[in-house]
C-alpha cells in the first residue's frame, strides 16, 4: 500500500468519526431537551399548586380571590391583596408562555395553562387587574392575551 492509499483510508476513518460524534451529540442534546422539558413541567405544576394552596388553605385569601375575580371587593386592602394574587398568577402563566414559545414546554401543558388563564381573565375583576398590571409583563405575553381578550369580547 502506498502513502496515498493510507491517507485516503485515514481521511475516511476521520470522516466516520466526525459523523459518529455528531450523531452522539445530537442524541445527547435531544436527551437534555427532554430532561429540561420534564423539569419545566414539574416546576409549572409546583408553582400552580403553590398558588392554589395559598388560596385554598386560607379562608380569607379564598374569599378575597373569588370576590376579586368578580370585581366585588370594597375594602382597599382586599383589592390590594387581590392584585398581588393576580400578578402572581399572571407571572406564573407568563413563565409557561415564554418557555412554550422557546419550545421548552409541551403543547398539552401550554393548552391547559392557557385555558385556565383564559377563564381567569374572562372574569371582570381579573380582567380589570390584567389591564392595570400587564405593563409589568413581557410584551409578547401582553400581546397574546390582548388579542385573546379582544376575541372574547366580540
What pLDDT does residue 41 have? 67
What pLDDT does residue 84 have? 94
Residues ≥6 apart with Cβ < 8 Å to 70: 123, 124, 125
Residue at 23 is within a domain: no
The number of distinct structural domains making up the chain is 1
Is the model more confident about 49 or about 104?
104
Residue at 119 is within a domain: yes
φ, ψ of residue 77 to 5 degrees: the values are: -65, -40
Can you tell me the mean pLDDT for 29-54? 76
What pLDDT does residue 85 have? 95
What would the grid cell of residue 132 be? 392595570
Is the model more confident about 53 or about 132?
132
What pLDDT does residue 154 have? 66
Residue at 26 is within a domain: no
> What distances in angstroms separate CA 135 from CA 52, 65, 87, one per listed residue?
24, 21, 11
Check if the beta carbon of residue 140 is closer than 8 Å to that of residue 98.
yes
Residue at 10 is within a domain: no
What pLDDT does residue 1 have? 67
Residue at 60 is within a domain: yes
| 54-75 pLDDT, tens digit each | 888 999 999 999 999 999 999 9
Alpha helices in 71-154 (DSSP H): 76-101, 107-121, 124-133, 139-153
> By C-alpha distance, which of 50, 94, 87 is closest to 68?
87
Residue at 83 is within a domain: yes
Is the pLDDT score of 153 beyond 90?
Answer: no
> By C-alpha distance, which of 133, 153, 134 is closest to 143?
134
In percent, the amount of the chain with pLDDT more than 90 equals 52
What pLDDT does residue 56 have? 86
CA distance linking residue 126 with residue 2, whole number of Å? 80
Residue at 14 is within a domain: no
Q: Which domain holds residue 147?
A: 45-153
Q: Give pTM, 2 decimals.
A: 0.75
Residue at 93 is within a domain: yes
Amino acid at each position: 500500500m502506498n502513502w496515498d492509499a493510507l491517507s485516503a483510508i485515514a481521511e475516511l476513518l476521520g470522516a466516520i468519526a466526525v459523523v459518529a460524534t455528531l450523531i452522539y451529540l445530537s442524541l445527547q442534546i435531544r436527551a437534555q431537551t427532554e430532561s429540561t422539558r420534564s423539569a419545566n413541567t414539574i416546576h409549572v405544576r409546583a408553582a400552580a399548586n403553590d398558588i392554589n394552596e395559598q388560596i385554598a388553605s386560607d379562608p380569607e385569601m379564598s374569599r378575597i380571590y373569588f370576590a376579586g375575580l368578580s370585581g366585588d371587593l370594597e375594602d382597599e386592602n382586599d383589592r390590594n391583596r387581590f392584585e398581588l394574587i393576580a400578578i402572581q398568577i399572571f407571572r406564573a402563566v407568563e413563565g409557561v408562555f415564554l418557555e412554550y414559545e422557546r419550545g421548552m414546554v409541551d403543547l398539552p401543558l401550554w393548552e391547559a395553562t392557557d385555558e385556565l388563564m383564559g377563564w381567569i381573565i374572562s372574569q371582570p375583576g381579573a380582567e380589570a387587574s390584567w389591564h392595570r398590571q400587564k405593563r409589568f409583563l413581557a410584551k409578547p405575553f401582553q400581546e397574546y392575551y390582548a388579542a385573546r381578550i379582544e376575541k372574547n369580547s366580540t
